[in-house]
Structure 1
Amino acid sequence: MSGSAYQRFGYASSSPGGSSTDSRRQQSSSATPIVDVPTAVQNLLLATTRLQDVLRKWSEMRASETQVSDVYVQLGNEFNTMVTAFARHNIDMSEIYAVPRELRAVLEQCLAEDPSPQVLEQYMPAVRTILYHLLEGLKNKQNDYKRAAGRR
């Protein structure tokens, strides 16, 4: 991949409300849909699955770098929606704010290589580790959410 990877991965925010120069992300915070925590988490988990799927397709030359980037941006948007949903219940998610930035770094390295299953095999463990950290962070906040929502 050429030097365009950095530009293509326009989702640069590592925390909610962060700035990004990417036109796909230029929307006001009021445009963020109000989503409940379970829906936001489900949408984020689906986005992580889509990212893994598009990476596999990329490694088989059935998806482009742009498609991987688009899925990453969608994941970043779902991430911000999830953080906002938790914030409505005064639940701090700062322990996982770095997830989008960490994913971006790994994806840029991966996509700098020529697509192949071997390249994916090299980078997928790092992607999975980051996603595991995300899942652990969500799991750790589950009880906080249940208490805040008044459900037990």
Structure 2
Amino acid sequence: MNAHNYPSRSYASTTNNNINPSQIQAPNNQADVPNAVRSLLLSTKSLQEILKLWSTGHATEGEVSDTYITVVSNFNKTVNAFAYHHISLNDIHPVPTELRAVLEQCLGEDPSPAILDQYMPQVRQILYKLLKGLQTRQDTWRSAGGRMPMIPYESR
């Protein structure tokens, strides 16, 4: 695929970097944070898997894009859930934008395992930043009476 073919969707409005806790609707229950984090982590794993499939021609650029949009949606739900409990995730707000930039570069190339090998370290670094940002909130969340889901993060 040529670089000018990607992205086919607008990502400009997919992140919510300035969340005002007073504008956030209350979650349905206190399990909202663990469920949001679990969904986010699972969607990041799905993104890595779909990228592997894309590199071998078994997934389309659109499928990668759709998976990225799911990651961003889950990211926003996680940010909102934490913000409801007055726990800021400001340090990881750039993650969707950073991830989008790497994906645009990667998907601008012809699919191949070599191209994936070239870009996957950057994808993993961004996802690691996300994971570490979430992990640093575990104590804060626990002190608020909650428990974070324990989902192992695989780097490959």
TM-score normalized by structure 2? 0.81
Correspondence 1:85 to 2:86:
no
Query: Which runs of 4 or more aligned residues in structure 1 lie more than 4 Å from their structure 2 counterparts after TM superposition?
Result: 32-35
**CA RMSD between the two structures:** 2.3
1:32-82 Cα deviation digits (max 9, x unpaired): 975611111000000001000000000000000000000000000000000
SS at match of 1:8: coil
**Contact persistence 2:36–2:78 (CA under 8 A):** yes
Q: Are 1:138 and 2:134 counterparts?
A: yes
Which segment drifts farther, 7-16 or 128-137?
7-16
**1:105 aligns to 2:95 (yes or no):** no
2:112 aligns to what? Answer: 116
State the shift of 1:84 in Å: 0.6
- Which among 20, 25, 39 is matched to residue 35 of structure 2? 39
Q: Which runs of 5+ in 2 are unaligned?
A: 148-156
Are the aligned partners of 1:15 and 1:80 in contact in 2 as well (CA < 8 Å)? Answer: yes
Matched, 1:55 2:29: no
* CA pair 9-114 structure 1, distance change in 2 beyond 3 A: farther
Question: Which consecutive unaligned segments of at least 5 residues does structure 1 have?
Answer: 19-28
1:4 Cα offset (Å)? 3.0
Indicate how the Cα distance of structure 1 residues 140 and 91 shifts in structure 2: closer, same or farther if over 3 A, else same: same
Pick from 62, 65, 68 the counterpart of residue 66 of structure 1. Answer: 62
CA distance in 2, matches of 1:57, 1:108: 16
Question: Corresponding residue for 1:129?
Answer: 125
Compare relative contact order (CA 8 Å, sep 6+) and give the higher one, 1 or 2: 2
State the identity as a percent. Answer: 48
Tell me by how many angstroms 1:149 deviates.
2.8
Distance 2:77 2:18 in 1: 10
The 1-side partners of 2:49 and 2:12 are apart by 19
For residues 71-105 of structure 1, the C-alpha deviation after alignment (integer angstroms, 9 at most, x for no partner) is 00000000000011101110000100000000000
Q: TM-score, structure 1 length as denominator?
A: 0.83
Query: In the alignment, which residue of structure 2 is the partner of 1:10?
Result: 11
Q: Note if contact 1:16-1:84 (Cα within 8 Å) is conserved in structure 2.
A: no
1:5 CA drift (Å): 1.2
* Rounded Cα–Cα distance in structure 1 between residues aligned with 2:5 and 2:18: 25
Contact persistence 1:103–1:130 (CA under 8 A):
yes
